[in-house]
Amino acid sequence: MATKLLADRLDHIVLTVKDIEATTVFYERALGFEREFFRGPEGQPRHALRFGNQKINLQDRGTDTPTKAVAPTFGAGDFCLIASVPVDQVLAHLQEQGIAIEAGPVPRRGALGPLRSIYFRDPDGNLIEVAEYVQG
């Protein structure tokens, strides 16, 4: 008997970073994300980057929370974001900001079909893919 699907979508991911402020400034500049400061359940300060209906929570190795990865590692993230504008506009913006492009535009396959993607890295070396769905 197959297990019924028990999850619907991503709400947030967590990145462990060396410098929360430097990472926040990078994502604000590169992708227009908005910073958020909040308190965790135990009252500890937390930081996040909001975009659309999702967010990326940021922590450094000193972040005090009982629900943390076993081996938080800098630069281990590799994730894909769907662009809110054509990928060519994202590419032009990143180039204007002096952000090095690792690859792209290149064809890829996403959860809903064919993608056209570009890749770049954040200050910790996490690989960021920004993509748009294409007719295929």
21 catalytic residue (yes or no): no
Closest CA to 89 of 132, 46, 121, 126: 132
Please pick, among 42, 96, 102, 129, the residue that the annotation labels catalytic: 129
Residue-wise burial string across 63-89, b where 16 or more C-beta atoms lie within 10 A, e elsewhere: beeeeeeeeeeebebeeebbbeeebee
How are strands ordered across the β-sheet holding 12-16? 12-16, 54-59, 45-51, 34-39
Just list the catalytic residues: 129
